[in-house]
Amino acid sequence: MKAKQIGLLILLVCLHVLYADNSSALSAPTGVSATDGTYPNKVHINWNLVSGASGYDVYRNTVNDSSTSSWLFYSASPTYADDEWAQESTIYYYWVKAYASGVYSGFSSPDTGYAGTLPSPAAPTGVSATDGTYSNKVRISWNAVSGSDIYDIFRYASNDPNNAYYRGQSADLYYDDAADPGVRWFYWVKARVYGVYSGFSVYDTGYAGTLPPTPAPTGVSATDGTYSNKVRISWNSVSGSDIYDIFRYPSNDSNNAYYRGQSADLYYDDATDPGVLWYYWVKARANGVYSAFSAYDTGYAGVLTGAVQAFIDPSGAISAGAKWRLDGAGSHSSGDTLTGVSVGAHTVSFTDINGYTTPSSRSVSVQTSQTAQTTGTYVPISPQTGWVQAFIEPSGAISAGAKWRLDGAGSHSSGDTVTEVSVGTHTVSFTDINGYTTPSSRSVSVQASQTAQTTGTYVPISPQTGRVQAFIEPSGAISAGAKWRLDGAGSHSSGYTVTSVSVGQHTVSFTAVAGWTTPPSETVYVYESTVAEVYGYYYAAEGEAEGEGEPDCPSIFGCTLPCEKLRSLYSGKSSDLTLLGFSAAILALWTRIRQR
């Protein structure tokens, strides 16, 4: 009993050592990789071979937690397996364990994968680039996008994301340390969720260091009574400036001036009382940096206005949609009158329309309470045209009725010229005729007042022909002058062969001979390069000697009889008419066999 206990203890110790050794030697698989949308309905998982492993268990979860993952299947494959139960567009985490002799390794590192396609993530919001916070770099930040693991940063010198340069990647913040000090950049960010990128974010501008000061605008000018209810302020543009702020005050005191609005070029102050003098200043903004106040100019709204009326000639131009503008604005019909136009010089211009030369712009001087009139005359443009001439070769094709068309229309003979053809590319095609291969269509380029020429050459088609040979029996009919014709033409002797007969169906007929019954006409089909044979059998008319000049009947079961004798066997026997018909059918069949 004690020996058995000792033996059992030794066995347990050995088993423990065996399994302990295997467990310590069996490593978790490395290099686990799951496909991202490679397949529409499965995920393919790969891993590196583990030395000593006899199989592998694959686990899956929708979150990165191996402890709550689900066992998928056991794989005997040494390096791969397919998850065919994966739901489309669902992201899974995969782990692999190695197995050998009842011992498992630990979990591998996870990798994500999915089947099908993933929707594009939302673009990042809250993109913010620093403005001079750092002397030699720009920090770009953004709000996180759910599920995103990385973000791409882009920049460009203007608001043009399609041409923006890729700057780098980051999981949260990005520092652009290649930003030249004093240069403003536009920045965009894209989010990436499991390899799928979002669109561009809304941009934000940023710069490193200090931006150079913006000079104040020069040439500020405010109108003096030009308009009855507004003042127009203009200025000289400042290099690099994208916007200008306009200020006004009833006296020369810029420190207390009121902000009126912004503009990229001109500004109209339409909230001014007529007859009140205002002082106007302008500030320029370049790269987000504002200039100091410009020098002032005074201006006021006046009450003196006039009107402008413009006419358009001829009526055809009006029907074609011609309009006129005042100082480059509006779209007015012929005869329209614009009132409330400020006193002074203005420009009337005209719109472009097809088929007419546009009148030049003209200046009109508006006087107080008067209407300045002008007329714009459009000149019709003569259409530009040329000619097309086509030739056909050879003359046989022309004789056979070959014609040509221009752009699929008309039916023109060789050498004809089509006039008043619009300038541009046109197509010349040719009609089909029997016996010829039709030339391919071709393009011709028509120039103004010039003739475009081309030639279409038809290629004769070699005719397909055969031969016809006819035989006449008996010799008595031949001696009596029996002849044969093909399609009602000619007079040919027995055995003569007509050559160059077109492929197809033809008719062989026989001439009438006194004392003989004429054979019926025969229809033959001629095949290319073959001979069609026909036999015509004349029968002696009533009263001729029995059997004289008759062709022998075919040999039937080794017995040959004159045809007249064959008929006499059944003469007067109405009960044998059927047998006679049967014999005639055999005779006809034999005749056909001889023709072949």
Domains and CATH numbers, the chain: 22-113 (2.60.40.10), 128-206 (2.60.40.10), 221-299 (2.60.40.10), 305-380 (2.60.40), 385-460 (2.60.40.10), 463-550 (2.60.40.10), 552-596 (no CATH)
The phi, psi pair for 47, rounded to 5°, reads: -155, 170
Token pair recorded at residue 539: 């029968």
Q: In the prediction, which pLDDT does 40 show?
A: 87
What one-character DSSP code corresponds to residue 382? P
The owner of tokens 């890729």 is 166
Alpha carbon distance 577, 583 (integer Å): 10
Q: What is the CA radius of gyration of the chain?
A: 53
Instruction: Write down the pLDDT at residue 462.
Output: 79
pLDDT score for 12: 35
What pLDDT shows up at residue 230? 93
Question: Which pLDDT does position 562 carry in this prediction?
Answer: 42
**What tens-digit pLDDT sequence spans the chain (596 residues)?**
445 544 443 443 343 334 444 444 689 999 999 998 889 899 999 999 999 999 999 999 989 999 999 999 999 888 999 999 998 888 899 999 999 988 999 999 999 888 888 788 899 999 999 988 999 999 999 999 988 889 999 999 889 999 999 999 999 999 999 888 888 899 999 999 877 889 999 999 999 988 888 899 999 999 998 898 999 999 999 988 889 999 999 999 999 999 999 999 999 999 778 878 899 999 998 877 889 999 999 999 876 567 899 999 999 899 999 999 999 999 999 999 998 787 789 999 999 998 899 999 999 998 755 799 999 999 998 778 899 999 999 998 899 899 999 999 999 999 999 998 988 999 999 999 988 999 999 999 999 889 999 999 999 987 788 999 999 999 999 999 999 999 999 999 999 999 989 888 999 999 999 999 999 999 999 998 899 999 999 999 865 544 444 444 444 433 334 444 444 443 333 334 334 444 444 454 444 444 44
Nearest alpha carbon to residue 235 among 280, 292, 276, 270: 280
Cβ(304)–Cβ(368) below 8 Å: yes
- Enclosing H/E stretch for 424: strand 424-430
For residues 387 and 419, give the distance between their C-alpha atoms in angstroms, rounded to a whole number: 5
Instruction: Report whether 142 contacts 127 (CB < 8 A).
Output: yes
Neighbour-count burial for 190-229, b at 16+ CB within 10 Å, e otherwise:
bbbbeebbbebbebbebbbbebeebebbeebebbebbbeb
Closest-CA residue to 142 (of 207, 206, 91, 196)? 206
Residues in contact with 21: Cβ distance below 8 Å, sequence separation at least 6, in sequence order: none
**pLDDT (0 to 100) of residue 323:** 96
How far apart (Å, rounded) are the C-alpha atoms in residues 537 and 451? 68
pTM value is 0.34
Nearest to residue 434, comparing CAs of 463, 391, 393?
463
In three-state form (DSSP H/G/I as H, E/B as E, the rest C), the secondary structure along 196-223 is EECCCCCCEEEEECCCCCCCCCCCCEEC
Instruction: Please give the pLDDT value at position 213.
Output: 86
Secondary structure (DSSP) of 51-113: TT--EEEEEEESSS-GGGPEEEEEE-SSSEEEETTPPBT--EEEEEEEEETTEE--PPPPEEE
CA separation (Å) from 276 to 11, 229, 233, 250, 279?
A: 115, 11, 15, 8, 10
Looking at residue 254, the DSSP 8-state letter turns out to be G
Instruction: Give dist(CA 230, CA 382) in Å, integer.
Output: 46
The whole-number pLDDT of residue 304 equals: 54
Per-residue confidence (pLDDT) for residue 543, from 0 to 100: 55
